[in-house]
Amino acid sequence: MTRSFVWGFALLVMLLAGADRASAHPHVWVKSASELVYAADGTITGVRHTWTFDDMFSTYALQGIETKTKGVYTREELAPLAQTNVESLREFGFFTFAKADGKKQKFEEPVDYYLEYKDSALVLHFVLPFKTPFKSRQLAVEIFDPSYFVDFQLQDKDPVKLVGAPASCTTAIERPRDGTASAQKLGEDNFLDGSNANYGAMFANKITVTCP
């Protein structure tokens, strides 16, 4: 079993907890793109995420992975790491929170997940199916880490797409302001004691889909 197979978000948290506490949150940066998937009858079935991790995190995560070609990582070679990533994310609610007409929606376990290595970065792809597909006038999806250990930013180009949605549906996005400076002022100890467990909610990426 390789070192990377047992790696996950939870393990990384423990490793960094022993680092210099003067360095504040966040520790991992992710560029996010999402697709909201609809069925033919207009029900919303799930969210398809594409998350691109920062270079430093990607380099760390790839340590110990055996490859046939140096510097080239196939989907098959990254499969154990992808599985560990997804299993670790479960503890954090997959950093994805949804409401349909103001009512919270639950997700099933991720499907169709895989990792790719592109432009010196790891990219995680996965689908979060809704527990019960539904129709709604307004769907609100937020992507963030409540503890602000991970900083999520929507990618610059085409951060949100509707797949199979009724033509009348419209999308609005709200990008968060950069919370890194504010977190640094708080210092790491303010996160370790749990007093700022939901700090990251202030920097949520908000996606709103309205279907008249």
Q: Which residue(s) pair with 208 in the sheet?
A: 140, 172
- Count the residues in the chain: 212
Q: Which residue(s) pair with 77 in the sheet?
A: none
Q: Using CA atoms, how far apart are residues 147 and 194, in angstroms rounded to an integer? A: 8
Q: Is the pTM of this model over 0.85?
A: no
Closest CA relative to residue 45, chosen from 37, 53, 54: 37
User: What integer pLDDT is reported at residue 82 of this predicted model?
Assistant: 92
User: What integer pLDDT is reported at residue 25 of this predicted model?
Assistant: 64
**pLDDT tens-digit profile of 118-154?**
999 999 999 999 999 999 999 999 999 888 888 999 9
Q: Round the average pLDDT of the chain to a whole number and report it.
A: 83
Q: What is the CA 9 to chain-centroid distance, rounded?
A: 11
User: What integer pLDDT is reported at residue 60 of this predicted model?
Assistant: 86
Q: Using CA atoms, how far apart are residues 50 and 68, in angstroms rounded to an integer? A: 26
Spans of the chain below 70 pLDDT: 1-25, 178-198
